[in-house]
Amino acid sequence: MVHGAQDGPLIVVAAALIRDDRVLVQERPAGKALAGLWEFPGGKVEAGETCEAALVRELSEELGIALGSEALAPHSFVTGTAGDRPLLLLLYVATEWAGEAHALEASALCWANYADLCALPMPPADVPLVAALRPLLA
Ligand SMILES: Nc1nc2c([nH]c(=O)n2[C@@H]2O[C@H](COP(=O)(O)OP(=O)(O)OP(=O)(O)O)[C@@H](O)[C@H]2O)c(=O)[nH]1
Q: Which domains does the chain have, with CATH numbers?
A: 10-136 (3.90.79.10)
Radius of gyration in angstroms for the set of CA atoms belonging to the chain, rounded to a whole number: 14
Read off the pLDDT of each residue in 107-126 and give the average, rounded to a whole number. Answer: 97
For the chain, give the number of residues: 138
> Which amino acid does the sequence have at 12?
V
pLDDT band for 83, please (50, 70, 90 cuts). Answer: confident
The answer, yes or no, to whether residue 93 has pLDDT greater than 70, is: yes
Query: Each residue of 12-68: pLDDT tens digit?
Result: 999 999 999 999 999 999 999 899 999 999 999 999 999 999 999 999 999 999 999
pTM of the model as a whole: 0.94
Taking the CA atoms of 79, 103, 116 and 36 in sequence, report the sign of the dihedral they define.
negative
Q: If you ran DSSP here, which 8-state letter would residue 7 be given?
A: -
Calculate how far, in angstroms, residue 135's C-alpha sits from the geometric centre of ligand 1.
25
Q: Please, which residues bridge with residue 13 across strands?
A: 43, 90
Burial class (CB in 10 A: 0-12, 13-18, 19+), 83: exposed
The more confidently predicted of residues 134 and 5 is 134
Within 1-138, residue ranges assigned H as helices are 51-63, 114-119, 127-133
Beta-carbon-side half-sphere exposure of residue 43 (alpha carbons within 13 Å): 19
The answer, yes or no, to whether residue 7 has pLDDT greater than 90, is: no
What pLDDT is recorded for position 6?
58
Ligand 1 binding pocket, CB closer than 6 Å: 12, 14, 33-34, 39-40, 42-44, 82, 89, 123, 125-126
